[in-house]
Amino acid sequence: MAHRDLTMAGETAGCSAIFTESLEDFLTAARQHPRGLVALRADAPVQPDELRRYCLALGGVMEYEQAGEIRVVRNDPNIPNSTAMSDRPLPLHTDGTFAARPPERFMLSFTRADNGGGGLSTFMPVSEILATAPGPVIEALLTADYLFPRGYDGDLTDSYIGPVLFPDGAGLGIRWRSDTIWRPQVIDHHGTKAADAIDWLHDYLTVTEPYTYSAREGETLLVPNTVLLHGRTALSTDSPRELLRVWVTDHRGPGVR
Ligand SMILES: [Fe+2]
């Protein structure tokens, strides 16, 4: 599948990509573009304490039960049932789909890059989905209630039930996680073709070229979680790709507890 370079997309993609080289510029751009992707390029990999400092400057670190504040993501064959911790492609999704209020933004800070052509970050703005989806699909995604469990083990303790699309600041936000073994299940269709809408979006994201970005070591991406789906291409053989991930608490109030 061909890819579109995120850095060439600019505002035309409905999602700006802004590159900065100082923390001051990064924070300014983050304030000015709450729905944009903002990158900070440092000369060396960012340490967890430093990333935490960025996060505090942006509003705070979102903590949630049973998870560390800053998570290390890399290929680890010892961890079963985790696509993120494998070398497989990671389908486009949003983080925290199981939470009542998913993080508005999160940061990915690259400590080791995949220089073998794999492990590209992939992105898809919700604006492109809205521009393409048939009316009945949008109506269903806005109206129907779907189940978003935390995991696939049948434990629904930490689940969210609600629509895929929702009002989010000046536009619509999205909650999405769908892959080869799971699609959001319809709890109440509210008179819409709810299951068809899920299938449409799943298929659309499977066949549409995502935007891609090849992150460098020392680069930190601030991603607007609810307006920009994200994923990853398959890693190269023996890829050392490693990143730190942290969810940013935002102006909507305290994080999910
Ligand atoms: Fe993610």
The CATH code of the domain that includes 69 is: 3.60.130.10
Is 144 in contact with 190 (CB distance < 8 Å)? Answer: yes
Look at residue 39 in the predicted model and tell me its pLDDT: 95
Query: How many Å lie between the centroid of ligand 1 and the Cα of residue 225?
Result: 9
Query: How many Å lie between the centroid of ligand 1 and the Cα of residue 4?
Result: 20
Query: How many Å lie between the centroid of ligand 1 and the Cα of residue 255?
Result: 17
Q: Is residue 257 part of a domain?
A: no
Look at residue 158 in the predicted model and tell me its pLDDT: 81
* CA neighbor of 211 nearest in space, from 128, 111, 105, 94: 128
Query: How many Å lie between the centroid of ligand 1 and the Cα of residue 232?
Result: 9
Query: How many Å lie between the centroid of ligand 1 and the Cα of residue 30?
Result: 19
| Alpha-carbon distance values, 53 to 64, 70, 174 (Å) | 18, 12, 28
Q: Across residues 131-149, what is the average pLDDT?
A: 97
Query: How many Å lie between the centroid of ligand 1 and the Cα of residue 191?
Result: 31
Which of 50-64, 87-101, 178-192 has the weakest average pLDDT?
50-64
Number of domains in the chain: 1
Question: Cα angle vertex 38, ends 36, 41, to 5°?
Answer: 170
Q: Is residue 204 part of a domain?
A: yes
* CA neighbor of 166 nearest in space, from 100, 231, 93, 247: 100
Q: Tell me the residue range of the domain where 232 lies.
A: 4-248
Query: How many Å lie between the centroid of ligand 1 and the Cα of residue 223?
Result: 10
pTM (two decimals): 0.91
What mean pLDDT value characterizes the chain? Answer: 88
Q: Is residue 254 part of a domain?
A: no
Q: Is residue 255 part of a domain?
A: no
* pLDDT digit string, tens, across residues 207-230: 999 999 999 999 999 999 999 999
Percent of the chain with pLDDT over 90: 67
* pLDDT digit string, tens, across residues 224-257: 999 999 999 999 999 999 999 999 986 554 443 3
